[in-house]
């Protein structure tokens, strides 16, 4: 091709470092590009749920119920994926491609084998590249259908959950600390400032039964009279519940963590006058008018 020719208005493309960057033409495409653009306050994180070459019936039920718990903020792929191996070099390419395609920054990958039966890999991505990974085995799974309760207590879509982490292992064991971070990121939903008490109708209870095993269960909250402003709460188990046995985990490197935790500066925010901040703290200068 002749590199000295300028692109026409019909193509509307730019050639930068040998890559063709297409400019959106329709308003719908422009809105989609703006939605994925970097923001000071990011959108709620979506979760990609997918499976490997072989899965068991129990693992399929686990993936389905995780999808129902995150309804509205999750995407489920039911086809088998042969070339996804999160902990191996080169086995993350397809996973990162699906993350970019669906704009999901969290993922749950299920696979079943003789060496690692009923295996779940929970992970996060940064800039659509693998950030960290936690691999757990699912045992003693009980579905939502195995619990009997009043259907009025069923958690509503879009409600905010509580989290209860019971056990010293979440503060002392590195694997459980990492699992706690990933579970919080996976189920907390959008970050909000104000919360209505009626919108809090469920709780995730995680109990560290050993140094590598966590009992995970989902409960509904029943509000009862207490004679005070704050009502008394009772827990009703609604499922699912399971034991999560930590098998492998991979932490992000320090450079990637610093890059992911970096906060952007709002260009529209006005800088306060006569205020300086240094190692001594924040100092302000006050001007006093001449006294008569």
- Evaluate whether 167 touches 215 at the Cβ level (below 8 Å): no
| Confidence at residue 118, expressed as pLDDT on a 0 to 100 scale | 96
CB atoms within 10 A of CB 280: 7
For residues 257 and 244, the model is more confident at: 244
Mean pLDDT of 99-114: 94
**DSSP assignments along 196-259, one per residue:** -GGG--EEEEEEE-SSSEEEEEEEEEEEE--SSSSPEEEEEEEEEEEEEEEEEEEPPPHHHHHH
For residues 159 and 112, the model is more confident at: 112
For residue 16, give both structure tokens: 């930068």
Rounded distance, CA 112 to CA 170, Å? 27
Nearest to 250 by CA among 167, 148, 182: 182
> How much of the chain, in percent, has pLDDT values that exceed 70?
92
The side-by-side arrangement of strands in the sheet containing 119-126 is: 74-80, 47-51, 106-111, 119-126, 129-142, 232-250, 213-224, 202-208, 161-166
pLDDT at 264 > cutoff 70: yes
| Confidence at residue 20, expressed as pLDDT on a 0 to 100 scale | 62
Secondary structure letter of residue 145 according to DSSP: G
| Confidence at residue 71, expressed as pLDDT on a 0 to 100 scale | 86
Rounded distance, CA 103 to CA 73, Å? 11
pLDDT band at 19 (very low <50, low <70, confident <90, very high): low
Residue written as token pair 């308003």: 27
Q: Where are the alpha helices (DSSP H) in the chain?
A: 27-36, 57-69, 93-102, 169-172, 174-187, 254-261
For residues 135 and 231, the model is more confident at: 135
For residue 118, give both structure tokens: 């009923």
| Confidence at residue 182, expressed as pLDDT on a 0 to 100 scale | 96
Buried b (16+ CB within 10 A) or exposed e, 89-100: eeebeebbebbe
Mind listing the pLDDT tens digit for each residue in 53-93?
999 999 999 999 999 999 889 999 999 998 899 999 888 99
pLDDT at 285 > cutoff 90: no
Q: What is the mean pLDDT of the chain?
A: 86
Mean pLDDT of 267-289: 83
Mind listing the pLDDT tens digit for each residue in 203-226?
999 999 999 999 999 999 888 888
CB atoms within 10 A of CB 287: 5
Rounded distance, CA 130 to CA 256, Å? 10
Mean pLDDT of 37-48: 83
Report the length, in residues, of the chain. Answer: 292
């Amino acid at each position: 091709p002749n590199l000295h020719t300028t692109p026409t208005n019909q193509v509307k493309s730019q050639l930068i470092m040998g890559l063709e960057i297409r400019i959106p033409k329709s308003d719908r495409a422009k809105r989609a590009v703006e939605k994925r653009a970097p923001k000071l306050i990011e959108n709620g994180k979506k979760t990609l749920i997918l499976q490997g070459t072989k899965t068991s019936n129990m693992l399929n039920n686990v993936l389905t119920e995780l999808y129902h718990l995150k309804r509205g903020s999750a995407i489920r792929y039911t086809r088998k994926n042969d070339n996804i191996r999160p902990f191996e070099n080169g086995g993350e390419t397809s996973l990162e491609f699906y993350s970019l395609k669906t704009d999901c920054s969290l993922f749950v990958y299920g696979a079943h084998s003789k060496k690692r039966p009923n295996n779940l890999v929970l992970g996060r991505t940064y800039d659509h590249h693998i950030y960290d990974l936690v691999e757990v085995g699912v045992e003693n799974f009980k579905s939502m259908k195995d619990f009997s309760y009043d259907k009025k207590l069923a958690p509503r879509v879009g409600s905010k959950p509580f989290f209860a982490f019971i056990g010293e292992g979440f503060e002392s064991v590195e694997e459980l600390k990492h699992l706690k971070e990933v579970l919080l990121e996976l189920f907390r939903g959008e970050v909000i400032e104000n919360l209505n008490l009626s919108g809090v109708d469920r709780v995730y209870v995680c109990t560290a039964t050993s140094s590598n095993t966590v009992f995970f269960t989902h409960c509904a909250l029943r509000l009862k009279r207490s004679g005070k402003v704050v009502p008394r709460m009772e827990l009703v188990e609604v499922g699912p519940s399971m034991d999560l046995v930590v098998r492998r985990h991979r932490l992000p490197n320090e450079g990637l963590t610093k890059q992911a935790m970096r906060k952007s500066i709002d260009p529209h925010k006005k800088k306060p006058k006569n205020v300086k901040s240094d190692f001594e703290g924040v100092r302000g200068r006050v001007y006093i008018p001449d006294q008569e």
